[in-house]
Structure 1
């Protein structure tokens, strides 16, 4: 049997899950369950690492996944989050990342060369620290230095709510991402500073106007966990023109496994969603180019397809690629090599 290539993941919410749990995070990460990404499940599915997001969850305005059961839907954007609260939450998740690193369960990477060494070593898994929504950073960029020193190398200026830097798209179906304004002046300053520091700027969750504003600042367009709007018309997905722009700027887009972003009907239903995942991959490759597409699972943050219940099931997705006629070289690109090459030329 052909071995499954190792997987580099563009986005997951494992740190949020571990931060919210009881007991030591290192114990929970080493356990069989629960969670989409644990050490046993990662080993079983050849999950080799990726972007681990820190996200300031506002429990008072949490997202009710039941809305996805009856499209169409249109959730209003929650209010901007208090910066001090967001800072405390993100610092808690940063501590979890450092605990996993200190325990030898992950290798927290800060440079492109370090990432490649970690990947080639194979164990422990490689971790890149990502911030999903920059609520914890001041409009004058206060806090960015401290986060960078902790290992932060990737920032999404928004989740699906406004920040001082930009607007996020609502969870709306059907809709494209043209739902609000783009980058603020502070947002442009943040993007410029990320470019100067050679950090990744993630456009997932950003409005269409914000997406093109990022391009205007001279950086590659990256959407770590977004899909093709032409297959599933969610506001969270990218139009054909946006996918082309990612390829034209030498950027990256990662396939989101969340059923609500895969299915053409926008439903949470897990049945058949892996078939739709292949349709998204086909379109993303055709438009962005085969060197600019990877995976961005949204593990521990979204409802998963039937047959892809956790990282342990990643071989099922790879087998779908083989069944669709994807060759070994293309599969390696999608599974890890495109992300690694992009990050080697982008990170410090």
Structure 2
């Protein structure tokens, strides 16, 4: 249970499962539940910061990154690299957290379950896949993942897969970095609509974004992206993309990563929280107060020193209040807007 004076935050993206898979292979769930971890997130600090839940990403890192992390030979790591197995192992970690948490954490499959968890002070975990490298072109694994609790999927990370290619350009740059969706990618978008899965636009190149906007019947959502006009990272959203998201009654979750916030595109942590407020101001102007939320990317990025980790959420909210944000708007940004758009997408 988080302290009653804290504002509960439901967040659109974190990479906790990747960090547990890499750093705590023996007993990842217990590491999360009982230790202070080296990254931004663990259960105790989530409670301290008011982190009530969010979308927990399953992410298959490139084989060369895994090899470097573990000090292994890159060629042999590439030969043994198994995206499907890694995906299954990270899904299992989320299931183990639920099973070993003594009722403190729950995999949520509906907005009603999320709301119940927030009301009871339990950690609400939604299963999300970031980058569909483990999914074959026939989508044969998708139904099994949905049965396991999958409610959100981003077809891409930075690298190409059978569904197309994600944004993979340097700063400063345009999001127009690839050829968009393949035919398999178009089938995936339609399948996500049939299963009522959130389709995450955050790593889509510009062509794939507009193809998805045309194909999908759901609100457009970028779970962890920022404003290209303020920080011209290719991963950030142009005004035209923001207008399309607003037109669809979708949502953008603010990415806390300094490289996606700073005008110079650098990862340095010496950035005031006022820069995050500037991006929120811009998003609110373009999207309206019902279509902006948080998508921290905790455990996957560098955050401002003043924020530090998940325990810094109250400091971010204090900065918003100091900037004139009222409590109704803060409630919308911290959880209400996510619940609204998930109800629309999941049709609940």
Q: TM-score, normalised by structure 1?
A: 0.91
RMSD of equivalent CA atoms: 1.9
Write out aligned runs for 1:1-348 (5 A).
3-22=5-24, 23-30=26-33, 31-61=35-65, 85-104=82-101, 105-123=104-122, 125-217=123-215, 218-347=217-346
Is the Cα–Cα contact under 8 Å of residues 134 and 156 in structure 1 kept in the other structure? yes
Is the Cα–Cα contact under 8 Å of residues 219 and 341 in structure 2 kept in the other structure? no
Distance 1:130 1:155 in 2: 5
Tell me how far 1:333 sits from its aligned partner.
Answer: 0.6
Gaps of 5+ in 2: 69-77
Residues 158-187 of structure 1 deviation map (CA, whole Å, 9 limit, x = unaligned): 001111112101141001201111111111
Residues 45-104 of structure 1 deviation map (CA, whole Å, 9 limit, x = unaligned): 00000000000012415799xxxxxxxxxxxxxxxx999711011111001000001123
* Aligned match of 1:76: none
Name the SS of the counterpart of 1:120 in structure 2: helix
Larger RCO (CA under 8 A, 6+ residues apart): 1
* Aligned match of 1:68: none
Residues 194-247 of structure 1 deviation map (CA, whole Å, 9 limit, x = unaligned): 111111000011101111111111221110000000110000100111112111
Tell me how far 1:266 sits from its aligned partner.
Answer: 0.3
Distance 2:107 2:62 in 1: 26
Gaps of 5+ in 1: 65-80
Deviation larger for 241-250 or 199-208:
241-250
Is the Cα–Cα contact under 8 Å of residues 112 and 346 in structure 1 kept in the other structure? no
Distance 2:7 2:169 in 1: 33
Distance 2:341 2:230 in 1: 26
Distance 1:237 1:83 in 2: 33
Q: TM-score, normalised by structure 2?
A: 0.91
Distance 1:48 1:206 in 2: 28
After TM superposition, the runs of 4+ consecutive aligned structure 1 residues lying more than 4 A away are: 61-64, 81-84
Tell me how far 1:345 sits from its aligned partner.
Answer: 2.6
Deviation larger for 15-24 or 134-143:
15-24
Count the aligned residue pairs. 330
Is the Cα–Cα contact under 8 Å of residues 10 and 53 in structure 2 kept in the other structure? yes
Distance 2:258 2:138 in 1: 37
Deviation larger for 196-205 or 179-188:
179-188
